Structure formats: C-alpha cells, structure tokens
Amino acid sequence: MSKSKQCEAVRVVVRCRPFSRKEESQGCEDVLQIDDRLGQITIRNPKAPPDEPMKVFTFDSVYGWDSKQVDIYDDAVRPLVESVLKGFNGTTFAYGQTGTGKTHTMQGVSNDPEMRGIIPNSFQHIFTQISRTQNQKYLVRSSYMEIYQEEVRDLLCKDNNKKLELKENPDSGVYVRGLSSVVTKNATEIEHVMNIGNQSRSVGFTNMNERSSRSHAIFVITVECSEVGPDGEDHIRVGKLNMVDLAGSERQSKTGAKGKRLKEAAKINLSLSALGNVISALVNGKSTHIPYRDSKLTRLLQDSLGGNAKTVMIATVGPSHKDFEESLATLRYANRAKEIKNKPRINEDPKDALLREFQGEIARLKAQLEERGMLAKERRRIRNSKRLSQSLAGMEEEMLNERDADVWKAFVDEPVVRRHIKEGSDHPKVTLCQGSGERLKHLKDNRKSLVDMQWDPDALEKIIEKYKVHVEIKIQYSTV
C-alpha cells in the first residue's frame, strides 16, 4: 500500500427535497433557506419567536429542491469515483430522516436518464473512463448487500435470507464472508446486477413513505487496474466504491409503524445512533475508543469513517415545518461528520487482487491452449507422416520384395543352399549361406532405417534419396 498518509476531511453535502403533494395539500411551511453559492443552509424554528436568530450551517455544498440528479453526481460524487479509478477506496452514503430522498438520490429512477441516481450514474462514468484508457487492463466487479434487522444479506444470491458474517483481516479490513461478487464488462451488465439486487431489497409502507427502505443497502464496485510501471513490472491498483442508501431515522408517532415495521424501525434507529456515536467519538479528539463494533453498519463503514477511504456524506432533509426537529438533528449530525478526518491511500499491489489471480489463470490457460495446439499440430504431423510412411512403406515393401526376390533368387542359386533345399532343411539360409546372409542383413538394416525416419517430416527428401539408393542397391543386387 501507498505510504501517503495525508489527512482529508469527510466531504459533507446537504440536499433538500421539494414538498410532497401531501405536504402541499396540508399547507406546510418551508423552514429551510438554501444558499448554494455559499454552501449554507438556514433553518428556522417554526415555534420560536420571530426575533430568535435562525440556525445556519455551512457544508461543502448544498442543493435545493430544484437540484438535478446529474448536478449532485457531477459535483459531489464524480471526483470520488475518479479517485476510486486511481486505486483509492471511496464511500458515499445518504443519511437523513425517512422520506427525505435518500433512495431517490442514490438510486433514483434508472430508466429515466434525468432521474437516474448516483449508483446508476456511477456505472456509466466508470465504464466510459475505462473505455478511454489505453495502457491499462481493468476488472470491475460488484456486490450488493443489505443490513436488515442487524443481519447482513446478499442481495445477489438466490438464497438471500442467508445471514452473512462479518470478518476482518489485516490486509483488506472488514469484509463480508461469502458475499457474491459479479464481474461486469459494461454499464448494461452492472445495471442488470443492480436491478436484480433491488428486487430483493426490503421496502415497506409507512405513513412517511410509501416505499420506505427498511434496510441499509450497500452497493459495492471494486475496480482493479493493472498497468506496467516504469520498472517494467505489472502493478495492480484496487479501488473499492461503497454506495450506501441508509434506512431513514423515524419516529413511531409519525410513521405509524407497528408490529414488523416497528421492530424494523427499532433496529434502524439503533444502528443509526451507533453511526452517530462513531462520528462523535471520531471528532471528539479525546476518545480513545471508537465504537465501530456496536453495529454491523459501523463495522462495514469503518474504513470510510476515520479510515483509509475518501468519503462523501449526503444528508437529506425535508422543507416542512412539521419536520423541523428531524431536519435540525440531521444538520447537526452532518455538521459533526465534517470534522471526521480520513487518511486516504491508494491500494497498490494488494495480495488479494483478483486481477492478478485472473492474469495468472489466463496465462495458465494460454499455455495449456498453446500446448494443446502444439500437441494437435504434433498429432496431425504424426498422422500425416504415418500416412506418408505407410504409403512409402508400401512402396518400399514392394520394392524390397522385388529385391528380396532377386537376393533370394541369388541366394537359392548358391550351390550349397540348393543342396539344403533339396534335403528339405527348414532354416538353411543364414546359417549356411554366408555371402548371401550378409546381403540379407544389409537389406534388413535398410528397412529399419526407413522405419526410424518415418517420424521426421523433413525426411521425405531423404526417403526419396534412400529409395534411389534402394533402386541402386537393387540394381547392384540384380547385377550380383
């Protein structure tokens, strides 16, 4: 890992949603004022006397009710994703009261280009950037999980009721054991992955939001990049982008949550207060213990809060006077988070880079293919050369038979042999006829050398030469 240990504050932005139809019909008052130029948001207590000063908060950016999805992406998230492509870990999370637009900001409406949220916008951005590079190889994979009632569930797994365990290792920090990871080659593929996961996400009706997120959802994109460094060696950088759509804080009196919804709300509020405690401990300056272990959410966000990641928090608020207290609480929470200092660093050549494993695997497969190709070539060569030698052997057989016939004729013409044949001996030839025996041996050697040569494809010429020799031999023999 890179040695750079420069501190960087968590970037905090605030987004205010427009009035809902219900709020409009109820004649709700607007208690928020946004100054996007100064990055200021002013909140007025609707119950306070008119002379009481309003509370002003300053953030890295503030976005009013008419802000566009693309503005939030370009301004708040694009630089974060650029960093992930360089090998940093990055996290963006939306925090706020229920019904204030966290899911709208993170997810939006994927099939409407203007309404697409941060998660789908990041897909297009990542793959466009990758397509523009020339000397790097990339591997992009994604995971999608939710923390529902303090249990981690894999949203990409068929059996998504399975509870996954959190583990920790010194190299990669906290991770989810057994979480699916899908390699994706383009924006369409990764979007498909997201849509599959969204179908499994826990949502439910409450009085504050028809489609209220009942879980914290985390979409993770891991980008591995391999590039040849000045040393001529292949170097791998790995950046991980966590995009977190938190469940909203809620009050039972407002949401009307009962039974299952109430149980969900209790767990949601518990983990959000654990997140608040971690933030407080981090900015306190005196805390020696940061209570990351108090919830699964804070454990998973450990690197993003006071760790080695770059982090962007998007706090969402509603404009209505009815939500004054919740909005003020969110702004205070967000204001505290501004003080969190991270030490982002590039993940260089991590041990667990999948790209390295894949490259190794590709090299192995290539070698295997090459070997197989060579073997197939060798087999073809052998087959051809066998065919050739078979036909040559046929020719040779014919030729040798002719020659043997000559030799045999010469042999049987020997007076001593002729005598033995007449006497009816079975094996008279070699034992008795020395001169002809030598000639027979020579004939066998010729035949053997031809057999040995059949595996050498370049030997055709030689075989033909040999054949010529045979002819010469034959001529010689025939003249004996």
Ligand X SMILES: Nc1ncnc2c1ncn2[C@@H]1O[C@H](COP(=O)(O)OP(=O)(O)OP(=O)(O)O)[C@@H](O)[C@H]1O
Specify the residue for token string 């030490």. 343
From the list 102, 116, 125, 310, which residue makes contact with ligand X (rule: CB under 6 A)?
102
- The amino acid at residue 60 is D
- Per CB under 6 A, 248 contacts ligand X: yes
- The amino acid at residue 359 is Q
Given the complex with ligand X, which of 105 and 298 has the nearer CB atom? 105
- Per CB under 6 A, 96 contacts ligand X: yes
Residues 6+ apart with CB under 8 A from 354: 139, 141, 222, 224
From the list 11, 104, 116, 240, which residue makes contact with ligand X (rule: CB under 6 A)?
104
Sign of CA dihedral 92, 97, 101, 107: positive
Given the complex with Mg ion, which of 206 and 436 has the nearer CB atom? 206
Indicate which of ligand X, Mg ion, none lies near residue 330 (CB less than 5 to 8 Å, by partner kind): none
CB of 222 to Mg ion, least distance (A): 24
- Per CB under 6 A, 28 contacts ligand X: no
Q: Are 191 and 123 contacting, i.e. CB atoms less than 8 angstroms apart? A: yes
CB of 15 to ligand X, least distance (A): 6
Given the complex with ligand X, which of 260 and 383 has the nearer CB atom? 260
101 carries a ligand binding annotation: yes
Span of 1-9, 207-215, 265-273, 321-329 interacting with Mg ion by CB under 5 A = 207-215
Span of 100-108, 191-199, 236-244, 430-438 interacting with ligand X by CB under 6 A = 100-108
Distance CA 203, CA 272 (A): 17
**Burial class of residue 257 in the structure, from the number of CB atoms within 10 Å of its CB (0-12 exposed, 13-18 middle, 19+ buried):** buried
Indicate which of Mg ion, ligand X, none lies near residue 17 (CB less than 5 to 8 Å, by partner kind): ligand X
- Per CB under 6 A, 103 contacts ligand X: yes
Specify the residue for token string 């002003």. 56
CB of 248 to ligand X, least distance (A): 2
CB atoms within 10 A of CB 34: 21
From the list 83, 143, 184, 316, which residue makes contact with ligand X (rule: CB under 6 A)?
316
As given in the structure block, the two tokens for residue 445 are 């050697």
- Per CB under 6 A, 319 contacts ligand X: no
Beta pairing, strands 90-96 & 61-63:
unpaired
Find how far residue 462's CA is from the centre of its chain.
57
Q: Give how many residues touch Mg ion by CB under 5 A.
A: 3
133 carries a ligand binding annotation: no
CB of 272 to Mg ion, least distance (A): 13
Distance CA 140, CA 225 (A): 9
98 carries a ligand binding annotation: yes
CB of 106 to ligand X, least distance (A): 8
From the list 69, 100, 103, 255, which residue makes contact with Mg ion (rule: CB under 5 A)?
103
Span of 98-106, 214-222, 325-333, 376-384 interacting with Mg ion by CB under 5 A = 98-106
Q: Enumerate long-range contacts of 288-293, CB under 8 Å, 24 or more apart.
A: none
Given the complex with ligand X, which of 104 and 310 has the nearer CB atom? 104
- Per CB under 6 A, 100 contacts ligand X: yes
CB of 112 to ligand X, least distance (A): 11
- Per CB under 6 A, 209 contacts ligand X: yes
As given in the structure block, the two tokens for residue 447 are 């035949």
Given the complex with Mg ion, which of 94 and 225 has the nearer CB atom? 94
Count Cα atoms within 13 angstroms, Cβ side, for 31. 24
184 carries a ligand binding annotation: no
> What does the CA dihedral 262, 266, 272, 273 come to, rounded to 10 degrees?
140
- Per CB under 5 A, 97 contacts Mg ion: no
Residue in 201, 179, 180, 176 with CA at minimum distance from that of residue 296 = 176
CB of 72 to ligand X, least distance (A): 9
Specify the residue for token string 């469940």. 247
Residues 6+ apart with CB under 8 A from 439: 407, 410, 411, 477, 480
Q: Are 211 and 203 contacting, i.e. CB atoms less than 8 angstroms apart? A: yes
Strand (E) or helix (H) holding 480: none
Given the complex with ligand X, which of 98 and 222 has the nearer CB atom? 98
Given the complex with Mg ion, which of 13 and 187 has the nearer CB atom? 13
- Per CB under 6 A, 261 contacts ligand X: no
- Per CB under 6 A, 212 contacts ligand X: yes
Phi-psi label, residue 150: left if phi above 0, alpha if psi -120 to 50, beta otherwise: left
Q: Can you give the binding site for Mg ion, defined by CB under 5 A? A: 102-103, 213
Q: Can you give the binding site for ligand X, defined by CB under 6 A? A: 17-18, 96, 98-104, 209, 211-213, 247-248, 316
Residues that constitute the known binding site for ATP = 96-103
